[in-house]
Amino acid sequence: MTPLVKVSNLVKRFGGIVAVNDVSFEIYKGETLGFIGPNGAGKSTVVNCLTGYLPATSGKIEMNGVDITHMKPHQRVHMGLARTYQIPRPFPELTALTSVLASSISGKKRVNQSFQDAMYDATHYLEFVGLFSKRNILARDLTFYELRMLELARALATTPQLLFIDEVMAGLNPGEAKNAIQMIRKAKEQFGITVFWIEHVMAVLMEAADRIVAINYGSKLAEGTPDEVVNNDDVIEAYLGRGWRKYA
Ligand SMILES: Nc1ncnc2c1ncn2[C@@H]1O[C@H](COP(=O)(O)OP(=O)(O)OP(=O)(O)O)[C@@H](O)[C@H]1O
Ligand SMILES: [Mg+2]
């Protein structure tokens, strides 16, 4: 099967720090791929390189067989990549609706489509994440949970094929976290998107992920089904601890 995204020998250096060290993996259409590793392992940096937020130092990123390694972020959005940030990055002075409208105007479907259509879509995605009643509230006045949902609506409004989620649980209370997970599931079902999901809460990925890739110090440690990965000795040693043996 041809992968949706193929990452080959990705390297990202920040001065003397090698944040991502020769990492290769594939993302297949329709799957939920979990991405795990300790703090500072390089997870967000991988997403930053895949989405074009940061240039890769070396290596190759292909999407549907097209080399996107040197494409600009907006070109990758038009190819069908979208993301949420580990720490939400709202436009504080825009309303929730205008924030999503900006995405639906710049998303891949929008070229040659009308403003009314973009507005209709923006309203739809805001409603989808449960923020319709907040549509006229400035982003700076939203709660942290609402900002996470706004990020999701903005990402979905670009009509992605592949959504990168960089931790959705962090900073949410248990009830909000549960809602957020359900929202991602619902988005996957309703829009048929592929999901690449960084998460520290392993129980979530055990449930949601079809496969998991684990990294440590910028290098790939393991790859496989959730059961395989949580029982991998290197992953247990570097990240999970012995408690995960119970899945053996
Ligand atoms: N813009 C940057 N400039 C310099 N160093 C960076 C930059 N971004 C990340 N790093 C460094 O790269 C390494 C990997 O960081 P990254 O944020 O990718 O880790 P992570 O796996 O996402 O961690 P966490 O689970 O805490 O979010 C760390 O040593 C970090 O300090
Ligand atoms: Mg991170």
Per-domain residue ranges of the chain: 1-80+162-248, 88-159
- pLDDT reported for residue 187: 95
Q: How far apart are CA 124 and CA 70, in angstroms?
A: 33
199: three-class secondary structure by DSSP: coil
Q: Which ligand 1 atom minimizes the distance to the CA of 167?
A: 27
Report the separation in Å between the CA atom of 87 and the middle of ligand 1, taken as the mean of its atom positions: 13
Q: What angle do CA 130, 131, 133 make, to 5 degrees?
A: 110
Q: Which ligand 1 atom minimizes the distance to the CA of 54?
A: 1
Q: Which ligand is nearest to the CA of 45?
A: 1
CATH, domain range 1-80+162-248: 3.40.50.300
- pLDDT reported for residue 110: 58
- Two tokens at 171? 């900073």
- pLDDT reported for residue 248: 41
Q: What is the pTM of this model?
A: 0.94
Report the separation in Å between the CA atom of 37 and the middle of ligand 2, taken as the mean of its atom positions: 9
Q: What angle do CA 176, 143, 195 make, to 5 degrees?
A: 50
The DSSP letter of residue 95 is B
Report the separation in Å between the CA atom of 17 and the middle of ligand 1, taken as the mean of its atom positions: 10
The set of long-range contacts for 224-233, using a CB threshold of 8 Å and a minimum separation of 24, is 226/34, 229/34, 229/36, 230/202, 230/206
The DSSP letter of residue 137 is S
pLDDT in tens, the chain (248 residues): 789 999 999 999 999 999 999 999 999 999 999 999 999 999 999 999 999 999 999 999 999 999 999 999 999 999 999 999 989 899 999 999 999 999 998 876 656 678 888 999 999 999 999 999 999 999 999 999 999 999 999 999 999 999 999 999 889 999 999 999 999 999 999 999 999 999 998 989 998 999 999 999 999 999 999 999 999 999 999 888 876 654 44
Residues framing ligand 1 (Cβ under 6 A): 14, 17, 19, 37, 39-45, 86
